[in-house]
Amino acid sequence: MSRADALNRFADVGRAVLVGGAVIGPMWRKDLRAGLNGLAAVFAVSAASKAIKAVWKEPRPDGENKQSFPSQHAGDCFAAAAILRRESTEGVGAAAIGLAAAVSLARVLSGKHHVADVIAGAGLGTIAGEFAADYRSPLSAAE
């Protein structure tokens, strides 16, 4: 396995851990609202990322395709980290943000993204996560 493959595998596992933690973790604690907010944040950043990629044809550093900007890995990870920071116990949020940063760095070091790609993805993800964490549905207000 090449260094780039190992970094990409780390990034894929890191993203799965963060997204799973933001969506399944709250539901495991029977906090449906927080779990759905996590899911909404990840869906929102994924949709925004795909829409931008369809218009902004930025070549990847490794030349694989022209879908480098913004980094969806970074977006998904930072959206999940924002949810985990707001909805979890102390310490989990900091660890989640650290893992999101490590995943983003792995994507740069593997040649899949430029630094600007992961910064843009991280910004999109953070915004989506913070908005979703602030959202309270009319159903939760009745509780």
Q: How high is the pLDDT of residue 136?
A: 59
**Residue 25, pLDDT score:** 86
Token digits of residue 124: 């999109």
pLDDT for 111 equals: 96
CA distance 27 to 9: 26
The span from the CA of 9 to the CA of 24, in Å, is: 21
pLDDT in tens, 32-68: 888 889 999 999 999 999 999 999 999 999 989 999 9
Question: At the top level of CATH, which class does the domain 3-137 belong to?
Answer: mainly alpha
Low-confidence stretches of the chain (pLDDT < 70) are 136-143
The HSE-up count of residue 128 (CA atoms within 13 Å, CB side) is 30
3-state SS class at 31: coil
Residue ranges of alpha helices (H) inside the chain are 3-28, 32-55, 72-87, 92-109, 115-134, 138-141
- Please report the pLDDT score of residue 23 as a whole number: 92
Distances 136 to 71, 139, 141 between C-alpha atoms, Å: 28, 8, 7
pTM above 0.85, yes or no: yes
